[in-house]
Amino acid sequence: MPEKLPQLDRDTLRQWSVVSYPSLVKELCSLFIGPELIPRDDLNDLIDRAFSRFRHKEVVHLSRLRNGLNVLELWHGVTYAFKDLSLGCVAQFLQYFLEKRKKHITVVVGTSGDTGSAAIESVQGAENVDIIVLLPKGRCTKIQELQMTTVLRENVHVFGVEGNSDELDEPIKAVFADVAFVKEHSLMSLNSINWSRVLVQMAHHFFAYFRCAPTLDLHPPPPVEVVVPSGGAGSLAAGFIAQKMGLPIHLVVAVNYNDIIHRTVQRGDFSLSEAVKPTLASAMDIQVPYNMERIFWLLSGSDSQVTRALMEQFERTRSVSLPKELHSKPSPLLSGSRLCSQVPGGRAGCWADPR
């Protein structure tokens, strides 16, 4: 996480409200990526390159439905996953630095479905990157599995793993905890543990707000409710950071049977269920949403010691009751809802929990 988040005034929000989605990503990224890292002209070129293969001319499109309901279409990338948006940019940033430094790295990615195919697409054929993808055998959709296992490039290595996506994340996390090993083998991750993934995903929330808000001339600006389907909570963390920067949105997190985020928001119950339940939304079948650590850090007032203590307790006991001072804070900013979800070959279930 950045140590400090920039605060956006109403004039900045008004200026950003009329620009395209790619231009919005450029403005956001320039707040966190200074010219000493990537000169602005180079940054603009990299972002343009990342979005060059999207099927929609706007890259991201807002569809207006009835009664003030809108749907933000994030599926116009090559793999049809919303992660094409962030991973395309991250891969361009990565290759920019590797070419300048004449280095080669190996990317290690665990996936519940959509991250793996989008990550492969973003770096396949790159000379200075090898990618290793671990996918849970039999737990991804057939389309996503084929997207990952039919890429015949020398730098792409895909392995099926016994167990669910949370279980395959554990050895990856252990590898990256070994700093000497990571340095020796030049390893990195493209999962949303990588900050630049979250940075680019913040643009979804700004773009949605600007397309939905009736006016920016009121003081304070009118709020917009954003419903975020969530698994690992990367987009949720991005929205929460956008809030902290001054974007007037109210976040509603939507989950399936695997509802740890919902329980955390509603009751402060950050604990594992007995098992991950497979659903048709396999990319959301996650019990350990590691981006909640970022949200806890923000809720605690950037208190790293409090956050570390919470996460260490969770790793030991797999159960944490959030302190009252943390659990009470999300209510005006964040609420949770469990939605319908059908288990393949099983029954359907619906919940409509009060916000």
Tokens of 312: 């260490």
Tokens of 59: 């890259």
Cβ proximity of 77 and 118 under 8 Å: yes
Look at strands 129-136 and 269-271 and give their pairing: unpaired
- For 305, half-sphere exposure in the C-beta direction (CA atoms, 13 angstrom radius) is 0
Question: Where is 201: in which H helix or E strand?
Answer: helix 195-212
- For 351, half-sphere exposure in the C-beta direction (CA atoms, 13 angstrom radius) is 15
CA separation for the pair 66, 53 (Å, rounded): 31
Q: Which residues are catalytically annotated?
A: 83
Positive or negative: CA dihedral 227, 113, 168, 275: positive
- Among candidates 284, 260, 279, which has minimal Cα distance to 336? 260
CA separation for the pair 229, 236 (Å, rounded): 8
CA separation for the pair 31, 271 (Å, rounded): 35
Query: Which residues are paired to 136 by β-bridges?
Result: 161
Tokens of 328: 């009470």
User: From the centroid of its chain, how far is CA 249?
Assistant: 17
Q: In what order do the strands lie in the sheet with 224-229?
A: 224-229, 249-255, 334-338
CA separation for the pair 29, 200 (Å, rounded): 7
Cβ proximity of 292 and 270 under 8 Å: yes
CA separation for the pair 74, 238 (Å, rounded): 15
